[in-house]
Structure 1
């Protein structure tokens, strides 16, 4: 009996974990459901404990399955990376997965993908939400995304490429005087901010908690368009990354915070993967976009004060 897991078994395990059922995993792998369930069962028998709890509604990872999944995912990825490194044509006619948040996805990703498509029309791109759940950095770290557009943290172990810098701004009705505001001024209406549960928003919450006077009402709103509509209707002032408010509504204006909060936005890649043909094609398209007048104009908008 084979004493170690095979790639076929690990691929079946990863696909089943992502799909939540053996049937959906089988479709994604173009296999019969019995082949996927048998591969997973073989893994469970090999290691003497279940990877999934099975029920008529589907499958759920056990604690052992949760612990094993990141390692299985990376093992499968390393195998696939070997094949991509050996066959550039296959890499550039395969797929690339990018994790991004909304503001980066709107303002930065489309022009990069446009350049990428013109250069490599056979390469398909899949976009993942890099805000919900674990965040873009984690999606790259555990192998679910090839590239992530994220806010740089001092703790990252990923390879980083600088993209652009911006700051957080206070969004308020245009009818108000465009005067510098103090932290005490911000206490007069509720402050609207993104939820702290998402990793990319933690720094904003920490910054505000440091400077806001006690008793300031802070309301979490998940959608930036909802937040801006609430500002228009006098329901509060919003604190948002500058990139997220472009283009700003005619009825609103944006001012710098009393104490600035800057963020550096970067593309992140797992160490050792930047040289893979499809990842390299993406980074080359990113650098090409950064050399265009359109990108330089975006940088100018991000440095303007106030945003009108």
Structure 2
């Protein structure tokens, strides 16, 4: 019978892959660097595959290591989840990892976390940038985040809970002549957009191409505050989610797109983990926030004028 990898070996492999160093992995795990290295070598010998390329600058995954890493993460996570399901105290005094992007992190996450802390003060929260790499959905899927605030789609295999509806708007200087923004009006200045590389930004890029006139100049800007400042200085018109514009600067105004593009914002959790105590506590805090006057005011701000 073929040997089976132990949890210690898999934890060593995951920690080394995420840190890029046996030494840093050892600090994370509370082990010696030699113990981490020996655990990884045991996995490599067991399967006859090299998992890391080693060099004086550190370690990088081989193709075999890249294929194995998501499965190792999930195995380790399932073991941790077993302990959390058995011991509610352990779950509610541990760490909750939340992925989000900036506008949701400003307007939705803090009030939910405040309610969560009120009921579970020992639960620590770690916040990750949900726009990096493959985004919050992938972070939840492979176990690097417990929950993600994101734009919901019909394609996700995750359990999703809708929170609020938002729409994309055109942002322009208040000094401009009022009136509806037409496709022709979007040609008067460069159109400022978030980079299309992230999934939720790709959606608005595809939508705009359905009605933008030929020759419309598009400039990608990564930071929303930079984009708004450029609009203030007459350097372009921005297309952004309404939530990302709040609170609206006095010098700016927003208008609906010529063809509306709404989006539903919410949270995503792996369905098999939703019953874990710390995730159940998070969703209860979210639902409690949705029943507050503060949430009602936020919803009102997101309604088209």
TM-score interval, normalised by the smaller of the two chains = over 0.9
User: Residue by residue, what CA displacement relative to the aligned partner does 1:71-130 show, whole Å, maximum 9, x if unpaired?
Assistant: 100000000000000000000000000000000000000000011111101100000100
Instruction: Please state if 1:283 is matched with 2:256.
Output: no
Q: Hey, what's the Cα distance between the residues in 2 that align with 1:290 and 1:26?
A: 42
Q: Which residue of 1 aligns with 2:93?
A: 93
Instruction: Name the SS for the 2:296 alignment partner.
Output: helix
Q: Specify the alignment match of 1:272 in structure 2.
A: 272
Tell me the secondary structure at the aligned position of residue 303 of structure 1. Answer: coil
Which structure 2 segments of 5+ residues have no match? none
Distance 1:304 1:151 in 2: 19
In the other structure, the counterpart of 1:170 is 170
Distance 1:249 1:204 in 2: 23
Aligned residue for 1:138? 138
**Secondary structure at 1:71's aligned position in 2?**
helix
- Corresponding pairs, count: 305
Q: Does 1:199 find its partner at 2:199?
A: yes
Cα distance in 2, alignment partners of residues 23 and 261 from structure 1: 49
Q: Does 1:16 align with 2:38?
A: no
How far, CA to CA, are the matches of 1:46 and 1:210 in structure 2?
54
Other-structure match for 2:70: 70
**Which residue in 1 is equivalent to 2:49?**
49
* Structure-1 separation of matches of 2:270 and 2:44: 29
1:7-36, Cα deviation, whole Å (9 max, x unpaired): 111111111111111111111111111111
Describe the superposition over 1:224-269 as per-residue Cα deviations: whole angstroms up to 9, x where unpaired: 0000000011100000000000001110011110110000011000
TM-fit CA distance, 1:178: 2.3
Alignment of 1:210 onto 2:201: no
Distance 1:160 1:133 in 2: 21
CA RMSD of aligned residues (A): 0.9
SS at match of 2:5: coil
Over residues 25-49 of structure 1, what are the superposed CA-to-partner deviations in whole Å (9 max), with x where a residue is unaligned? Answer: 1111111111111111111111111
Alpha-carbon distance in structure 2 between the residues aligned to 1:29 and 1:123: 21
Q: How far is the alpha carbon of 1:2 from its aligned partner? A: 6.7
User: Hey, which bits of structure 1, 4+ residues long, moved more than 3 A?
Assistant: none
Structure 1 SS opposite 2:210: helix
Shift of 1:177: 2.0
Does structure 2 conserve the Cα–Cα contact (< 8 Å) formed by 1:135 and 1:200?
no
Larger CA deviation: 81-90 vs 1-10: 1-10
Inter-partner Cα distance in structure 1 for 2:210 and 2:47: 49
In structure 1, the residue matched to 2:219 is 219
Is the partner of 1:66 in helix, strand or coil? helix
Give TM-score, length-normalised by structure 2.
0.99
Runs of at least 5 residues in structure 1 that lack an aligned partner in the other structure: none
Partners of 2:73 and 2:200 lie apart in 1 by 24
Contact 1:131 1:200 in 2 (8 A): no
Residue equivalent to 1:252: 252
CA distance in 2, matches of 1:153, 1:21: 37
